[in-house]
Amino acid sequence: MIRFQQVSKAYRGGRQALQKVDFHLQPAEMAFLTGHSGAGKSTLLKLICAIERPSDGKIMFNGHDITRLDNKQIPFLRRNIGIIFQDHKLLMDRSIYDNVAMPLRVEEVSENDIKRRVSAALDKVGLLDKARCLPVQLSGGEQQRVGIARAIVNKPLMLLADEPTGNLDAALSQQIMNLFEEFNRVGVTVLMATHDTSLLSTRNYRRLDLYQGQLREIPYGA
């Protein structure tokens, strides 16, 4: 699904965020991306959805070289990727329904299809009854589930999550994790950046660990 080959990223000003990173994820795999703050986790996720471009190396996504996409091709890549952020980045002046519909409106999907797909996505995260609410009327855990519904409404091949449980207590974190596992079970590839050690200790997935921009794999059970 995704392959990094000797990928490096230096930001302007010379900060080396990633150094010769190699890894691949098979379709329908699920893995954690771990590492200290500043290790390069967000940078790695941003490279996958072409928010940032690598300085060196090659990135393959679903059989396509995405290293040098031109701006016109980026929406086609992003259509296949759902992204979830720690702070969920919901539009606070729009209803839950409209927040989840956003990726479909960008694609000019018909209102009938939007209605069907938003309802299905909200149903999957257990928030169908909140469709007309504003984000402030929801709890933190519910807001994060709206972020997940928005990320999956397009039926992406891959879900990227950047510290999705960072603001949630242990019970809510488990609930969010269960949702990712449900999508993974139906074939979605999942890469989740986290340094939530209690969450890591309850789940035995591949762990890609970044240390100062260098990636190594931590074996199961370590």
- Select the span of 32-40, 58-66, 91-99, 126-134 touching ligand ADP (CB under 6 A): 32-40
- Select the span of 58-66, 113-121, 131-139, 197-205 touching ligand ADP (CB under 6 A): 113-121
117 near ligand ADP (CB under 6 A): yes
Among 14, 187, 219, 221, binds ligand ADP (CB under 6 A): 187
Two tokens at 102? 């956003």
Output the smallest distance, CB 214 to ligand ADP, in A: 12
Query: Which residue, 69 or 120, has its beta carbon nearer to ligand ADP?
Result: 120
30 near ligand ADP (CB under 6 A): no
**Whole-angstrom distance, CA of residue 57 vs CA of residue 141:** 38
145 near ligand ADP (CB under 6 A): no
**Beta partners for residue 18, in sequence order:** 9
Task: Number of residues interacting with ligand ADP: please give it, by CB under 6 A.
Answer: 23
**Whole-angstrom distance, CA of residue 166 vs CA of residue 78:** 24
Query: Which residue, 46 or 58, has its beta carbon nearer to ligand ADP?
Result: 46
Among 30, 109, 152, 161, binds ligand ADP (CB under 6 A): 152
Query: Which residue, 72 or 147, has its beta carbon nearer to ligand ADP?
Result: 147
11 near ligand ADP (CB under 6 A): yes
Query: Which residue, 66 or 151, has its beta carbon nearer to ligand ADP?
Result: 151
153 near ligand ADP (CB under 6 A): yes
Beta carbons within 8 Å of 13's beta carbon, 6+ residues apart: none
* Binding interface with ligand ADP (CB under 6 A): 11, 13, 15, 17, 35, 37-43, 117, 120-121, 124, 152-153, 155, 183, 186-188
